[in-house]
Structure 1
Amino acid sequence: MFDYETLRFIAWVIIGLILIGFAITDGFDMGVSALLPILGRSDKERRIMINSVAPHWDGNQVWLITAGGAIFAVWPLVYAVSFSGFYIAMILALAALWLRPVGFDYRSKIDSPAWRATCDNALCLGGLIPSVIFGVAFGNLLQGIPFELNEFLMTSYKGSFFGLLNPFALLCGLVSLSMILTQGATWLLMKTRGYLHHRASNFAQVSALATTLLFVLSGIWAYNLDGYVITSQLATDAAANPLNKEVSTVAHGLFTNFNQNPILWLIPALAAIAPAITAISARNKKDGTAFLMSSLTAASIILTAGIALFPVIIPSSLNPSQSLTIWDATSSEKTLGIVTVVSLIMVPTILGYTLWCYRKMFGRLDEQYIEKNNSSLY
């Protein structure tokens, strides 16, 4: 159906779409969870927040599982390098995510303020920690990862966990956190009424503007980062082998793709402008528009990072020529063909079902609704 080169590019697009789907959908329920101690002033308000995402949070988390499975299927070397280099960080993120089902499912099992406070704290950590870690991971990818490959393509990671917590990566973590918090706050705008809605509106305005500021600051910083450019003639339809190419670092070259194709600058521009529109929409009680613009912000930020790296997936700061790219870190042509066919069928199906679920379960929650359905809600 498609040649090997096209399938490799399609795989890159598919992974990008899955990550965007995760940021938009799981982003709003992680954001709501992280905001529990900030916006929820009473147990009923916190229950409203929790039940606003209750029908969707477990389904949304499937996007993350799908992303991990897809990376393993189409980019096995990327899976190996990332899971070895980011092992401790990923364990922390997963441990935080494990707190979520406990917090959701067991919060109302014991009628104790102390128990519910503990579950609320667990949910908050389950939304807060992964949001930061995912941003830190992208920050390190943009700078390059200290890994090498031997002649058998076995990876050797030379970094450390604390090395991942460098200033630029932490700034990217803050970008991710503010983006996710804005996503959660704008979701609450569509799902709540009264004082909780008012507080969510105020917070969305602040966090959206913070997202713009932090994204611009990270962009200014990233302008001084080196870019990774393939300098050898690369046969994009050849068998995958990341050792058969030459890659050079270019000073201040992270935005090379944008400079070579100026129209692409519209994407980071949108990532900076959309949060401002989110804030304006939240202030003017345009709740749906605020959520749409927040979702567009998440998509634009992820696209900006992906395009900045393209065609590199994981650059090697130790040996740039061993960087993993979409042309040499992929599975076989047959595997990519199967993944493409499955994706063309399943992704629209999943999206359609998800949108149908959101539509059927849409509606605003308030304290009266919580009291009326007290025994059947979280």
Structure 2
Amino acid sequence: MNYDYETLRIIYWGVLVLSILGFVLCEGINLGVGMLVYLLGKNTEVAKVAIASVAPTSLLQLAWLMAVIAVLFATWPIVYAVIFSCLPWLLLIMLLAWLPRPVGFLFRDASDKAAWQNNWDKVLSVSSFLITAILGVIAGNLLKGIPFHLDSDMRIFFLGDVWGLLNPFALLVALINLTLLLFYAASFLQLKVGEDISKHCQPWILKAGVAFMLLFALAGLWLMHLEGYHINSEIMTNADSNPLHKFVKRSEGLWLDNYEHLPVLWLLPGLVFSSTIATLYFSAKRQLYYWAFIAASVAVTATVLTLAVSMFPFLLPSNRSLNSSLTLWDASASFNTLTTLLGVVVCALPIMALTSRFAFSQPSKTSE
């Protein structure tokens, strides 16, 4: 089937969103469990069961991270270049935090010594907190805008500093990410492990779930006054990629522009709240842990989609050089590249999703 350039760009925007969603749903469990290892206390048996529930799939789920990077590199090369040029310190810290995690998951129980296990628990917890917080900071700065400039030769200039990226709004989004993944992972553990261990997760489902809803609501109110971005010139959806062939304006509340033009989109943030409340209900009141986890998964999905549709069609706005902002219409790879890769992408994503679903459905060694 032949698609025009505009349709291909929309398809690959959807592929990018689905890849990020797969990463958050799958690796988010590992990150959340890593944080819970510390928050559940000094009970080494609880920590052992929690880690055993995700250790067999810890390396597999990193494939979603590779998928996000590959999609950016192959189909949105300018976005890939700007991110790695402007956020090197955040990405470096995140990479260093990720390195010991596979070793910790797989070799935490290699020794029966309490000191060995406690040290690995601390490493997994600290790395999980760091990675989750940095991912939130990056998401917050996507909404606020990255301080970069593209000159006429498409050279990238970062006009800010790492401390400017740690702005109050980005830190708020980091807290949202922390509470969301804690809430999500706790619901997973409650389903995955035995009744004796799941009772330790119940308080964190409640605490993190309520905190997430409050922080998400606060971010929504903030977003009403946060300066958003809008293309103020003709949008050439089928033209060759060149981010400088447009004019962009910035004003308060523009991130809500898509919701005003298509009110049905308000269902997404509404779904965030309703599915979070459903998780609390199924978990605490009914002890229906399967449905609680399904509802938590819907909350995560709706949160990611809310961010995506709020920013559409922007992928990486610039708050210093507005016209350098990158959108799905002017930052994609060539038409031939997108056409060639389409078959690979269409086959790869369903296989990855089915593999992850099968991996998480397998019982952990401690629950057999």
With the shorter chain as reference, the TM-score category is: over 0.9
| Aligned position for 2:141 | 140
Gaps of 5+ in 1: 370-378
Say whether residues 1:79 and 2:83 are aligned partners.
no
Between 1:213-222 and 1:277-286, the stretch displaced more is 277-286
Q: Which runs of 5+ in 2 are unaligned?
A: none
SS at 2:254 equivalent? coil
1:318 aligns with 2:320: yes
- The answer to whether the 8 Å contact 2:180/2:212 transfers is yes
Which residue of structure 2 aligns with residue 94 of structure 1?
95
Q: Distance in 2 between matches of 1:57 and 1:71?
A: 23
Tell me by how many angstroms 1:316 deviates.
0.9
Q: Is the Cα contact below 8 Å between 1:193 and 1:364 reproduced in 2?
A: no
Matched residues in 2 for 1:3 and 1:194: separation?
A: 54
1:131-187 Cα shifts (integer Å, max 9, x gaps): 111111111110111110011111101111111111110000000011111111011
- Deviation at 1:193? 2.0
Counterpart secondary structure, 2:229: strand
Residues 51-108 of structure 1: CA deviation (Å, up to 9, x unaligned)? 1112211111110111011111111110111112111111111111112012123322
Q: Distance in 2 between matches of 1:126 and 1:12?
A: 30
What is the TM-score with the length of structure 2 in the denominator?
0.96
Q: Distance in 2 between matches of 1:33 and 1:252?
A: 36
CA distance in structure 2 between the aligned counterparts of 1:156 and 1:363, rounded to whole angstroms? 48
Q: For 2:118 and 2:185, locate their aligned partners in 1 and report how far apart those are by CA, in whole Å.
A: 20
Aligned-pair distance for 1:42? 2.4
Equivalent residues in 2 for 1:1-378, closer than 5 Å: 1-283=2-284, 284-359=286-361, 361-362=362-363, 365=366
1:39 touches 1:196 (CA, 8 Å); kept in 2?
no
Aligned residue for 1:148, secondary structure, equals: strand
SS in 2 for 1:21: helix
Contact map agreement 1:246 1:321 (CA 8 A) in 2 = yes
- CA-based RMSD: 1.5
One-letter amino acid of the structure 2 residue matched with residue 81 of structure 1 = V
Greater Cα offset, 189-198 or 280-289: 189-198
Contact 2:224–2:252, Cα closer than 8 Å, also in 1: no
TM-score (norm 1): 0.93
| CA apart distance, 1:238 | 0.8
Q: Distance in 2 between matches of 1:324 and 1:216?
A: 28
* 8 Å contact kept, 2:313–2:328: yes
Query: Whole-Å Cα distance in 1 between the matches of residues 198 and 318 of structure 2?
Result: 46
Q: Is contact 1:190–1:364 with CA below 8 Å preserved after alignment?
A: no
Give the residue type in structure 1 aligned to 2:298.
L
Structure 1, 345-354 or 154-163: larger mean CA deviation: 345-354
Cα separation, 1, equivalents of 2:132 and 2:223 = 20
Conserved? CA contact 1:40–1:49, under 8 Å: no
Structure 1 window deviating more from structure 2 (12-21 vs 104-113): it is 104-113
Measure, in 2, the Cα distance between the counterparts of 1:131 and 1:363. Answer: 24
Q: 1:231-262: per-residue Cα shift (whole Å, max 9, x none)?
A: 11122111100011111113221110111110
CA positional deviation for 1:365: 4.0
C-alpha contact 1:271 1:297 (8 A) present in aligned 2? yes
In 1, Cα distance between equivalents of 2:119 and 2:310 = 41
**Which segment is superposed worse, 162-171 or 273-282?**
273-282
Q: What letter corresponds to residue 53 of structure 2 in structure 1?
A: S
Alpha-carbon distance in 2 for matches of 1:140, 1:346: 30
* More displaced stretch, 193-202 vs 211-220: 193-202
Are the aligned partners of 1:226 and 1:252 in contact in 2 as well (CA < 8 Å)?
yes
Q: Is the 8 A contact 2:58 2:102 kept in 1?
A: no
Are the equivalent residues in 2 in contact too, given 1:231–1:246 (CA < 8 A)? yes
Q: Secondary structure at the match of 1:111?
A: coil
Shift in Å, 1:293: 1.3
Deviations 1:25-61 (A, max 9, x none): 1111111111102225422221111111122111111
Is the 8 Å Cα contact of residues 35 and 126 (structure 2) preserved in structure 1?
Answer: yes
| Letter aligned with residue 261 of structure 1 | L
Aligned to 1:376: none
| 1:2, distance to aligned residue in structure 2 (A) | 0.9
Q: Would you say the 8 A contact 1:212–1:273 is kept in 2? A: no
**Which has the higher mean CA deviation after the structures are superposed, 222-231 or 191-200?**
191-200
Query: 1: distance between equivalents of 2:350 and 2:110?
Result: 37
Displacement after TM superposition at 1:317 (Å): 0.7
C-alpha distance in 2 between matches for 1:12 and 1:332: 14
Residue 364 (structure 1) shift = 8.8
